[in-house]
Amino acid sequence: MRYIIEAVANLDAKLLERLTALLADCVNQGASLGFYRPAQTERIVNYWQATSKQLENKDKQLFIAFDEQNNVAGTVQLNLCQKQNGCHRGEVEKLLVDPTFQRRGIATHLMKALEAWAQQHGIQLLYLDTQTGDKSESFYRAREYVLSGTIPSFVTDAQGMLHSTSVYYKELR
Domain for residue 103, yes or no?
yes
Q: Which range, of 29-38, 68-77, 115-124, 135-144, averages the lowest pLDDT?
A: 29-38
List, for residues 74-113, the tens digit of each pLDDT value.
Answer: 999 999 999 999 999 999 999 999 999 999 999 999 999 9
What's the pTM?
Answer: 0.95
Domain for residue 42, yes or no?
yes
In this prediction, residue 80 carries a pLDDT of 98
d(CA 137, CA 86): 25
In this prediction, residue 160 carries a pLDDT of 84
CATH number, residue 35: 3.40.630.30
d(CA 63, CA 52): 13
d(CA 26, CA 102): 11
In this prediction, residue 32 carries a pLDDT of 85
Whether the pLDDT of residue 1 is over 80: the answer is no
Domain for residue 8, yes or no?
yes
Mean pLDDT of the chain: 96
List, for residues 127-166, the tens digit of each pLDDT value.
Answer: 999 999 999 999 999 999 999 999 999 999 888 899 999 9
Domain for residue 113, yes or no?
yes
List, for residues 40-76, the tens digit of each pLDDT value.
Answer: 999 999 999 999 999 999 999 999 999 999 999 999 9
Domain for residue 165, yes or no?
no
Domain for residue 91, yes or no?
yes
Domain for residue 142, yes or no?
no
Domain range for 92 is: 4-123
Domain for residue 138, yes or no?
no
As for how many domains the chain has, the answer is 1
